[in-house]
Amino acid sequence: MIFTPSHFTAALLFSVFASIVFGITQRSTSRDQLLYGLYCFAMFVGGVFAAGWVMWILRR
């Protein structure tokens, strides 16, 4: 069995799992963990889009 996601799907999955671990390990209360996890996820996905636009600009 082989899993062949698109680059975007792979980046999204990576963001989900890394954000869960960051949220749980870097904050103490449940609420802070949730908020920090969401913040990390937003930063990851935002970084993906930002990097995508930078590459688009460089390619032109």
Rg (CA), the chain: 14
Distance CA 47, CA 30 (A): 25
Query: Is 26 or 50 the residue whose CB approaches other proteins more closely?
Result: 26
Q: Please, what is the minimum distance in Å from the beta carbon of residue 19 to other proteins? A: 9
Instruction: List binders of other proteins among 15-44 (CB under 8 A).
Output: 17-18, 20-22, 24-25, 28-29
Rule CB under 8 A: which residues touch other proteins? 1-7, 10, 13-14, 17-18, 20-22, 24-25, 28-29
